[in-house]
Structure 1
Amino acid sequence: MAIIKSNVVKAEKKAGGKGTITIEKVLGENELGCNEMFAKVTIPPGCSIGYHEHHGNTETYHILQGQALYNDNGKEMTLSAGTTTYCPDGEGHGIENCATEGDLVFMALITTTIQ
């Protein structure tokens, strides 16, 4: 069993979003298999990942903490801890920390679409 040191990246205005977010990649390239990314994402209040579409891959979010405004192909909804979202190949989404206090924290998994 390998112990993998996570790789922390700060991203500004991710996908046209607001502010700076933190992406902690918990698996390295050698461990991902058919996945492109498995990461813990932290979004401070007022910050976001802008709306973006997925082509050739899918993305799943699992909310660990906080409250989010989630854009699912133009339909907005509020999410909280314990909620899981799935954005299939060819569709789009975005997410924002809509709280005035506290970080939004979630796990993100991007998987390559198998044809």
Structure 2
Amino acid sequence: MIIDFDKIAEEHIEGFKGGEGKLDVRAFVDDKARIMYSTLRPGACSGKHQHVGSFEAMYVISGELTVYYDDKTEIARVGQLHYCPEGHFHWFENRTDHDVIYLAIVPTLR
């Protein structure tokens, strides 16, 4: 199956998961997974959240994503992937002055 994000309407989210700022998402969703091509705007962040019954893999396409994973702070750069396993907490932010573009995959495990 080919997923063409250019053919999926972009959703504009303010304060994703209780965070701040703008996140633009083109999402493919079925009963097995949520696959998102996302743009996190400068200064924006998600809220802290736990993955229960899923995990999340975030592959950075452009920019630099600061990720707070459990008790650690990590910087995910172009070509790197942040992985948040089931049961763990994370939140992320764009601490730069340019967009961060990433592909996120969140499967349904149960």
- The TM-score normalised by the length of structure 2 is 0.88
Q: 2:75 aligns with which of 78, 83, 93?
A: 78
Q: CA RMSD of the aligned region, Å?
A: 1.8
Q: Where does 1:10-21 land on structure 2 (aligned, <5 Å)?
A: 10-21=12-23
Instruction: Compare the two structures and name the one with the higher strand fraction.
Output: 1
In the TM superposition, what whole-angstrom CA distance separates every residue of 1:10-59 from its partner, at most 9, and x where no partner exists? 1111112111210111x353xxx621x10111011100112110111111
1:110 maps onto 2:106 in alignment: yes
5+ residue gaps, structure 1: none
1:109 & 1:3 partners in 2: Cα distance? 13
Give the Cα separation in 2 of the matches to 1:18 and 1:41: 15
d(CA) in 1 for partners of 2:109 and 2:83? 13
How do residues 51-62 of structure 1 correspond to structure 2 at under 5 angstroms? Answer: 51-62=48-59
For the residue of structure 1 that corresponds to 2:86, the secondary structure is coil
Identity %: 26
For the residues of structure 1 that align with 2:2 and 2:56, how far apart are their CA atoms?
Answer: 25
The normalised TM-score by structure 1 is 0.84
- Give the ranges of 4+ consecutive aligned residues of structure 1 lying more than 6 Å apart after TM superposition: none
CA distance in 1, matches of 2:24, 2:45: 11
State the alpha-carbon separation in 2 of the partners of residues 20 and 44 from structure 1.
6
